[in-house]
Amino acid sequence: MQSSAPQADEALAREVERVIASEVDDQRLKALLESPGSFDQPLWSLAVEQGWPGLSLPEEIGGLGQSWRNLTDVAQVLGHATVSLPLIQATVVGRLLLAASNNSSLRANAEKLASGEASVCIALLIEGDAGLPARPALTLSAGSVTGKVAAAAFGNVAQFALVQASHEGKAVLALVDLTDKATRHADNLIDNARAAASLSFDGAPAQIIEGADALGDVLAISIVMTAFEQIGGATACLELAKAYAMEHKAFGQPIGAFQAIKHKMTDIYTAIEIARGCALEALEEIEEGKLSIEAAAAARISANRAYDFAAQEAIQVHGGMGITWEGFLHHHYRRARSLALELGSTAYWRNVLVETLVARAKS
């Protein structure tokens, strides 16, 4: 669909699109939905070969040295295809490791993330809370971590997890090695293709990432990047709905000619364009190195809404075809919910936004 959103150098995003289109088909995506904790390992291998994990990481650690904006283009491509790869995670965590004041001991891991030799999940939520908990559920002492976190995307396959833990009475961010003393549990989820698993740590080795006020930033940048993935998905829904509405007839004309369908499509378009505006606004702030919590929360809330809404209404446009397993829209319907809950739901971020705005107004 048309939009005047400015594009960074798009070559790489188009290449990702091409590879995904030639590699991934509907049947493969459907198979991933069938069993808990699924991950498209062959596609990941290909992604690693092509250097995607290091896309927006510095060349000095083996990345491709591209910008955040390039990552947003790729995130839209992934979202459009409902492909799940831990690229946003690699970038956000990789950059975090490099920015840490104990950079030297973490750098090797950042390099592994850039090369794709290792992947990472962001596991900041706990069971029973829809947002970032008030206190970490994990305890870190003497370099090892214990406790349990809620299902995180890529938790079932990643070598590392970014977690929040209590350390000597303070909350810290830490990078946990999942190869030992960590148990992954993959429940049957409405979207099994996120390689999600909850993680139990029984003394798993962990390194503190010094400079721990980074928590807010990590989460804020992650939700902004995810917003682009959501916008990609929502746009795919709008395109699928349009194609169906042009092709299928009722009462002697394409259903796309009926006002009810037109107004629904306009409402989807409106939701997407508001989300795109909010996401681009946040991206500019990231580029200027001053991402505000309001901008991040607005990107999150509007993207959650746009993708949920686009998926549900695109199904509605499809009528009976929309509710079959063979049809593709349920992939988006599921994915919209996954992405909306993984990094804190709208309930959480709306609260963060309102409190921030009110506090600002008071000052």
Partner 1 sequence: MNAELDQYRQECRAWLQSNAPACCVQDGMTTDEEIALARQWQAVKADAGYAAITLPVEYGGAGKSELHKIVFSEEEMQHRLPRQYFIISLSNALPTFLHYAQSEELKRELGPKAIRGEHLWCQMFSEPSAGSDLAAVRLKAEKDGDDWVLNGQKLWTSWAQIADWGVILTRTDPTVAKHKGLSYFFVNMKTPGIEVRPIKRFTGDEDLNEVFFDNVRIPDSQRLGEVNGGFMVAIHTLMMERYAVSSVNAPLDEIIELAQHAKVGGLPALNDSGIRETIADTFVEQQGLRNINRRAVQAISDGGSPGPEGAIRKLLMGESLLRAGKLAMDLMGPEGLRADSDNRFARSWLNAPVLRIAGGTDEVLKNTVAERILGLPQEMRPDKGKAFNELL
Which residues in this chain contact its own copies in the complex, by CB under 8 A? 258-260, 263
User: Quick one: residue 166, left, alpha or beta (phi over 0 = left, psi -120 to 50 = alpha)?
Assistant: beta
Residues 113, 268: Cα–Cα separation, whole Å: 36
Sign, CA torsion 272/273/278/280 = positive
Should residue 362 be labelled a site residue for partner 1 when binding is judged by CB under 8 A?
yes
Output 64 or 258, the one with its CB closest to its own copies: 258
Cβ proximity of 80 and 229 under 8 Å: no
Output 87 or 199, the one with its CB closest to partner 1: 199
Considering only residues 97, 176, 196, 310, which one is a binding residue for partner 1 as defined by CB under 8 A?
Answer: 196
Should residue 14 be labelled a site residue for partner 1 when binding is judged by CB under 8 A?
no
Site string for partner 1, 198-237 (x = CB under 8 A): x---------------------------------------
**Region of 177-185, 199-207, 210-218, 275-283 interacting with partner 1 (CB under 8 A):** 275-283
Q: How far is the CB of 264 from partner 1 (least distance, A)?
A: 8
Output 212 or 257, the one with its CB closest to partner 1: 257
The two tokens of residue 146 are 């214990």
299 Cβ contact partners less than 8 Å away, ≥ 6 residues apart = 223, 224, 227, 275, 278, 279, 281, 282
CB atoms within 10 A of CB 316: 15
HSE value, Cβ hemisphere, 13 Å, CA-based, for 21: 8
Output 244 or 307, the one with its CB closest to its own copies: 244
Residues 183, 201: Cα–Cα separation, whole Å: 6
Output 49 or 247, the one with its CB closest to partner 1: 247
Should residue 335 be labelled a site residue for partner 1 when binding is judged by CB under 8 A?
no
Q: How far is the CB of 295 from its own copies (least distance, A)?
A: 29
The two tokens of residue 168 are 């000597």
Q: How far is the CB of 345 from its own copies (least distance, A)?
A: 20
**Residue listed under structure tokens 């999150």:** 300
Q: How far is the CB of 112 from partner 1 (least distance, A)?
A: 26
Q: How far is the CB of 59 from partner 1 (least distance, A)?
A: 30
Return the ∠ at Cα 103 (arms to 300 and 64), rounded to 5°. 65
Site string for partner 1, 340-359 (x = CB under 8 A): xxx-xxxxx-xxxxx--xx-
Q: How far is the CB of 261 from its own copies (least distance, A)?
A: 9
Sign, CA torsion 182/218/65/70 = positive
Residues 283, 221: Cα–Cα separation, whole Å: 9
The two tokens of residue 311 are 């998926």
Residue 62 touches which of partner 1, its own copies, none (CB < 5 to 8 A by kind)?
Answer: none
Read off the DSSP letter of residue 145: E
Q: How far is the CB of 261 from partner 1 (least distance, A)?
A: 7
Residues 112, 169: Cα–Cα separation, whole Å: 31
Residue 179 touches which of its own copies, partner 1, none (CB < 5 to 8 A by kind)?
Answer: none
Should residue 259 be labelled a site residue for partner 1 when binding is judged by CB under 8 A?
yes
Output 128 or 169, the one with its CB closest to partner 1: 128
Output 22 or 259, the one with its CB closest to its own copies: 259
Residues in 103-132 that interact with partner 1 by CB under 8 A: 125, 127-132
**Residue listed under structure tokens 């395109």:** 239
Output 200 or 312, the one with its CB closest to its own copies: 312
Should residue 166 be labelled a site residue for partner 1 when binding is judged by CB under 8 A?
no
Residues 105, 312: Cα–Cα separation, whole Å: 46
CB atoms within 10 A of CB 28: 14
